[in-house]
Chain A
Amino acid sequence: MMITKMALPRRTFLKGLGATVALPILDSMVPAFTAQAASVANTPRRLGYVFIPMGMNPTPWTPAQVGPLTELSPSLAALTPHLDDVTVVTNMELEQAHTTGNHASSNAAFLSCLKGKRTEGSDYELGTTVDQIAAQHIGSDTPIPSLELGTDLIVQVGACDNGYACVYQNNLSWSSPTTPLPTEADPRVVFERLFGDGGTPEQRRTEMEKNASILDWVLDDMTKLQHKLGSSDRRRVDQYVTTVREVERRIQLAEQQAASSILPDLTRPTSVPANWEDHVKLMFDLQVLALQADLTRVITFQMAREASTRTYPQIGVPEPHHPVSHHVNDPEKLAKLAKINAYHVSLFAYMVDQLKKTADGDGSLLDHSTFMLGSGMGNPDVHDHRNLPIIVARGGGEKRWGGRHVKYDKLTPLANLHLALLDDVGVHLDKFVDSTRHATEVMEPVSL
């Protein structure tokens, strides 16, 4: 077979030694960072969102008990070792997600709680997502305000939802109502973004200075362009200028950090693991590294894309996820949907496990993190956005924080929980889109 120059990079990048080679190396890096992280006197809090597509089969998902839990439901069983660190929340809804493009809106509304403007053009509009609101506050002290990650490398053609531009389905995070942030699925690219090419601090600083002066010039150029434009075009350039300023700011921060820290000798992941599970785990490993090194404090991760037709033969589901999700209450399909749910949860459990194992400040990384797993759909068969599957993982330090099932009697806006999670990392908003109150009950430690 011919591998043409670089002409088919997607093909060559689809599979790789990545996982087997990279994982042990990543593991070996941990001690180098631990020392650095421990020296941080006031350990920062981190916030993460993990998205799964197409809802769940509610029966095996929902714990029978309400309130304190002694055991988890079948779909969540993989989280049992971390029972005390997870809270299951049921009966939340995304009211705005009911549209004619329900897969697009399931993804788009998850962190925005908004309906996107129905368009296939570049005049798309959503809203600033909660992760980005957090990033604006707690991300400004780190070189990378937020990371947006995924696992889908190839963008499908013709697979976006009726009349909704693909941006709604592909991007979870929006830094403004008109700025979707692209997700990255290639572990090597993520690694390079976190740790660069390596080299000595001096070399890295020189490179950053060069970039800073190039950006100065770019900014100059843009300002010149702006004078010759009409008002709406000028607004576009304004956005570009803001972008360039933001990058300049990041470079300054990184320069400061490069001056003080010594990077270990890192080996980059070489490509994307052929096996999807390995790929997901590697992406989680990179997230742990990024948090541990305090390169970022806010992460969003699309474990799979909405309306994904990925098959899971490794767990006995050779059929594609999307058709399975339209189960028409067929017991066989419901069982398969539950298997997919349980599988996704087990990968989330892997992440929780890694966070717990990683020392950070006076405790573990999990003690200083809040991670939410969820979907923008409840019952995927009818594209329903009520009773969403939601799990919050959070270390409690000395206290037992989780081990609970918070079940709302009435459908409750997901925005309420978003507000509570923002509170948890010290970002206080009065209201977010359709919120009715702050879901403080989810964040309260268990009183025994």
Chain B
Amino acid sequence: MRKFTKTMSAIGLAMAWLMMGASSVTAQGSGALPEQRLVTRYCLTCHNDQALRGGLSLEGIQLDDIAGHAEVWERVVRKLRAGAMPPDGAPRPDETTYNGLVTYLESALDNRAVATADPGRTETFRRLNRTEYRNAIRDLLELDVDVAALLPRDDAAYGFDNVGVVELSPTLMERYLTAAQKISRLAVGSLGVVPGSRVVTLRPDLTQEGHLAELPFGTRGGATVEHTFPLDGEYEIEVRLARNRNENVEGLREPHVLEMTLDSERLNLFTVVPNRNRFGSYYADEDVDRHLNLRIPIAAGPHTVGAAFLQKNAALIESERQPYQAQFNQDRHPRQQPAVQSVSISGPFQPTGAGDTPSRARIFGCHPTSVADESDCAASIISTLARRAYRRPVSYGDIEMPLSFFERGQANGGFEAGIELALRALLTSPEFLFRIERDPEDVAPGEAYQLNDVELASRLSFFLWSSIPDDELLDLAETGRLSVPAVRKAQVLRMLADPRASTLTTNFASQWLYLRNLDTMAPNLRLFPDFDDNLRQAFRQETEMLFDSIVDEDRSVIDLIDADYTYLNERLAKHYGVAGIYGSQFRRIDLPTESVRRGLLGHGSILTVTSYATRTSPVLRGKWILDNILGMPPPPPPPNVPPLEEPEPGVAASSMRARMEAHRVNPACAACHRLMDPAGLSMENFDAIGRWRDRTNNWSSIDASGSIPGGGTFDGINGLRTAVLARPHVFVGAVTEKLMTYALGRGLDYNDGPAVRRIVHDAAGDDYQFSSLVLGIVESTPFQMRRSQS
């Protein structure tokens, strides 16, 4: 690897020499580069030391020293590649000259990158974040834990919560200790587990009038709960029904039958009968769901508990047309039939043993037959666990202390208690809790070096799985085969095909696209009476399924903008006004070319997370487009300028536009809003929960004309989509930057510009297939290498 670095610098020197030679010749020949004249003519009018438009001056920055001002020129190239500069209305050279300048700048910057190879420096210590911790426990111990109850949230930086997780506060350390204790007990199946209870409460805005996905056909409403039962023993399952403000069971007007299931097998049926004879309408139902509980023996391990009502003849149910589909609220649109509020699971009571669980099968690779066997078996179990947990080969030195913890536990409670204590120690080790990338001893300060195979294995697994490497990956790394490009490529493709790669959707895409914020979205009930949790979940599902399909089928990422298909169930199809889709299951449907629902920009999820509770926000939508689709985040507002004010709902759309344009007269505001608002305004045909509308609430028509920087003007959502599609490299560049930030766990800077360009350029040949972006990132200098501490 040292050799590699040396070769790189040798090439670098040669390049630098060539460049110096070339530029000095030109400078001597004509006095100034033709490119320099272009910059002076078309850019300097605004970007000089006085005007300082956009905080940028190109005055005195010579084009024969691009390498010396790489940061500035990367900024310039970004705007030029998108065609966003010079702005509309300002003079601009012909296209050939324009592109010539961009190519000139890019090549100079790319050459500089070859010459100096700065791969950036990821943090030496990076804590596993919540998601990674949970996945690591799953892959290490075959155990699913409720990580939100164990660890505090992570703060995001650069849009992702795997960036900048370096701090370790005493509170957090305490939490890790507690988590290790709980997890090791649960995984080993310690009889020391104390009875506990878990209450799963359904969202109060979940409509339960019809069949819900994942529940048996013929049922209505309810929930399934996947739960890890710690021991063989008795457990109590209890169901409570949703109540209205009078403390009566909402929608209970006649008897209903509730079914409880365990792993889809019926446990029992319960009849719920209304009791309205006591005193009036308050508290009459106090006891009607008291009997909805069972105490039964359940074997240790993961099981699915279900509770749902048996469906009655659908014809009896009042069916209402939209917008009164949501039914969860006593006053506005009450439930027609009773609903499940919570399912609780308590236990174990009278535990009989640890049972046969996937965790135990995973941990206990050997079973000592005599006391004499115990030490050897423990050493084998602990070294296997330590290797996986530390993501590297382990030596005797690594397991010496865990073994002594084993002995201590063994002395007090036998073999399994020993393993439990050793596991608890491993889970508290900094080598498990932190991803550590240490500078090799023989690398000079500030020098780029190649990561070793074992470090690369972790980078791959945390990128593609948000988890630890599996044995196959680790084996290849330990035997030095992961540095063979063909082997590495095969591994990347294998990993992308693995179910664990679904974290690219649930972790990467959900942060990139702000899907995570859906849970906190609570559109105003009065204005949007048909919004409920069913719709919220359907929104999420549609976008997740689209992203999944890009990864699974290795499609072009351009399909994220213009897929000729989407995924709908009845709920979402009705919301979109698509006919002929019935039932709670999602299915893929084809979309015609002119459909407004093609791609992310027409998804209810995106349109809702970029709106306020009462109205749309062209500003939020525009900013979302600039940040996440075009990769051109607007500059921050100057200090002490209030955000642009928007009119209240009910104000005519034309006047909303007028007011926004009036605000853009203020130069301090205009710098950003000139870029953001027009993009958002082109989406005005979608209301704050993503429904199509031709008119606003007060019947005025909608003007959805808009523009994006460098993309000209257009009309409506399809115009916006066409404008984005016209320059695929801009969108793909934005995706690549987001994906790379996530892959590296650090913010990108100008030094990464050449790598991003190269990935986008190479992927173009594969029609921007998802795997070509991922492989491009994996093979890039920032991913393969690291700069040592200077």
Contacts and interface: CB of A to CB of B under 8 A. Distances in A.
Contacts of B212: 1-2
Contacts of B166: 122, 236
Contacts of A188: 149
B520 A156 contact: yes
Interface string A5-42: 11101111111110000000000000000000000000
Contacts of A17: 199, 201, 240, 342
B417 to A, nearest CB: 11
A368 B545 CA distance: 56
A249 to B, nearest CB: 9
A247 B173 contact: yes
Contact of B167 (A98, A179, A197, A381): A179
- Residue from A6, A13, A244, A270 having most chain B Cβ neighbours under 10 A: A6
B153 A318 contact: no
A100 interface: yes
A231 B788 CA distance: 12
A157 B517 contact: yes
Contacts of B181: 207, 210-211
B424 A182 contact: no
Contacts of B144: 5-7
B636 A326 contact: no
Contacts of B439: 229-230, 233
A101 B636 contact: yes
Contacts of B393: none
Interface in B166-193: 166-175, 177-178, 180-181
Interface string A231-243: 1110011011001
Nearest to B226: A5
Contact of B161 (A99, A155, A320): A155
Contacts of B154: 155
A270 B199 contact: yes
Interface string A264-286: 00000011001000000000000
A383 B642 CA distance: 7
B204 A15 contact: yes
Given A165-B157, A271-B199, A1 B789 contact: no
B299 interface: no
Interface string A201-239: 000000100110111011011100100111111001101
B177 A180 contact: no
A122 B157 contact: yes
A5 B164 contact: no
A319 B520 CA distance: 14
Contacts of B167: 122, 178-180, 239
Given A15-B204, A239-B168, A214 B431 contact: no
Given A3-B200, A157-B516, A309 B613 contact: yes
B155 A186 contact: no
Interface in B190-207: 194, 197-204, 206
A214 B636 contact: no
B147 interface: yes
A222 B124 CA distance: 13
Contacts of B161: 155
Contacts of A237: 125
A247 B177 contact: yes
- Residue from B158, B173, B222 having most chain A Cβ neighbours under 10 A: B173
Contacts of B612: 309, 319-320, 323
Contacts of B222: 1
A10 to B, nearest CB: 6
B425 interface: yes
Contact of A16 (B163, B201, B516, B520): B201
A121 B214 contact: no
A372 interface: no
Given A179-B167, A217-B401, A319-B612, A6 B134 contact: yes
Contacts of A311: 522, 524, 613
B455 interface: no
B537 interface: yes
B436 A167 contact: no
Given A217-B401, A247-B177, A320 B613 contact: yes
Nearest to B180: A214
A354 interface: no
Given A16-B201, A222-B430, A236-B166, A229 B642 contact: no
B306 to A, nearest CB: 10
A171 interface: yes
B155 to A, nearest CB: 4
B152 A184 contact: yes
Contacts of B146: 6, 9
Contact of A382 (B168, B174, B204, B640): B640
Interface in B320-371: 342, 344
B152 A100 contact: no
A181 B153 CA distance: 11
A430 B401 CA distance: 48
A99 B445 CA distance: 35
A166 B156 contact: yes
Contacts of A353: none
A225 B155 contact: no
A198 interface: yes
A162 interface: yes
Given A17-B342, A167-B155, A228 B438 contact: yes
Interface string A160-200: 10110111001100010011111110101100110001110
A62 B231 CA distance: 60
Contacts of B223: 1-3
Given A7-B144, A166-B155, A318-B613, A198 B194 contact: yes
Nearest to A118: B636
Interface string A314-325: 000011100100
Given A17-B199, A320-B613, A100 B638 contact: yes
A4 interface: yes
A331 interface: no
B95 interface: no
A211 B169 CA distance: 16
Contacts of B169: 175, 179-182, 243
Contact of B149 (A9, A99, A197, A220): A9
Contact of B200 (A12, A157, A167, A225): A12
Given A15-B202, A210-B421, A214-B405, 14 more contacts: A1-B212, A3-B225, A5-B144, A9-B148, A10-B148, A100-B636, A157-B511, A163-B636, A167-B155, A229-B438, A230-B789, A270-B344, A326-B645, A328-B642
13 contacts: A2-B223, A6-B226, A101-B636, A120-B158, A153-B148, A167-B155, A182-B152, A184-B171, A229-B124, A233-B438, A250-B170, A271-B199, A318-B614
Across chains A and B, which 5 residue pairs bring their CB atoms closest together, nearest first? A162-B636, A122-B164, A2-B214, A230-B789, A5-B226
Interface of A: 1-7, 9-17, 98-102, 120-122, 124, 145, 148, 153-160, 162-163, 165-167, 170-171, 175, 178-184, 186, 188-189, 192-193, 197-199, 207, 210-211, 213-215, 217-218, 220-222, 225, 228-233, 236-237, 239-240, 243-244, 246-247, 250, 270-271, 274, 309, 311, 313, 318-320, 323, 326, 328, 381-384
